Amino acid sequence: MAPTITIAGRKIGSEHPPYVVAEMSGNHNGDIERAFRILEVAKEAGADAVKLQTYRADTITIDHDGPEFLVRGGLWDGRRLFELYDEAHTPWDWHAPIFARAREVGITVFSAPFDPTAVELLESLNAPAYKIASPEIVDLPLIRRVARTGKPMIISTGMATFEETEEAVTAARGAGAVEIAVLHCVSAYPAPANDTNLSTIRDLERRLGTVVGLSDHTMDTTIATLAVGMGAALIEKHVTLARADGGVDSAFSLEPMELARLVLDARIAKAAIGQPAYGPLESEKTVLKFRRSLYVVADVKAGGVLTEAAVRSIRPAMGLAPKWLDSVLGRRAARDLKRGEPLAADMVDGGIPGFDG
Nearest partner of 203 among 225, 230, 228, 224, judged by Cα: 230
Residue type, 33: E
What is the distance between the alpha carbons of residues 210 and 115, in angstroms, rounded to a whole number?
24
Q: Quote the radius of gyration of the chain (alpha carbons, Å).
A: 31
Domain 282-347 has CATH 3.90.470.10: no
Q: What is the pLDDT of residue 279?
A: 86
Q: Where are the domains of the chain?
A: 15-273, 282-347
DSSP H stretches of helix in the chain: 32-45, 57-60, 81-88, 92-105, 116-124, 140-147, 162-174, 199-208, 222-229, 256-273, 285-288, 325-328
Domain 15-273 has CATH 3.20.20.70: yes
CB 115 within 8 A of CB 57: no
Residue type, 211: V
What is the distance between the alpha carbons of residues 51 and 236, in angstroms, rounded to a whole number?
9
What is the distance between the alpha carbons of residues 108 and 8, in angstroms, rounded to a whole number?
7
Q: Bridge-partner residues for 282, per DSSP?
A: none
What is the distance between the alpha carbons of residues 266 and 224, in angstroms, rounded to a whole number?
8
Q: What is the pLDDT of residue 88?
A: 87
| Interacting residues of 102 by C-beta distance below 8 A, sequence separation 6+ | 39, 50, 108, 109
Render each residue's pLDDT in the chain as its tens digit; 357 residues.
899 999 999 999 999 999 999 999 999 999 999 999 999 999 999 999 999 999 999 999 999 999 999 988 887 888 899 998 898 899 999 999 999 999 999 999 999 999 999 999 999 999 999 999 999 999 999 999 999 999 999 999 999 999 999 999 999 999 999 999 999 999 999 999 999 999 999 999 999 999 999 999 999 999 999 999 999 999 999 999 999 999 888 999 999 999 999 999 999 999 999 889 998 999 999 999 999 999 999 999 999 999 999 999 999 999 999 999 999 999 999 999 999 999 999 999 999 998 987
Same fold, 15-273 and 282-347: no
Q: What is the pLDDT of residue 176?
A: 97
This prediction has a pTM of: 0.89
Phi-psi region of 231 (alpha: psi -120 to 50; beta: other; left: phi over 0): left
Residue type, 298: A
CB 336 within 8 A of CB 350: no
Q: What is the pLDDT of residue 122?
A: 98
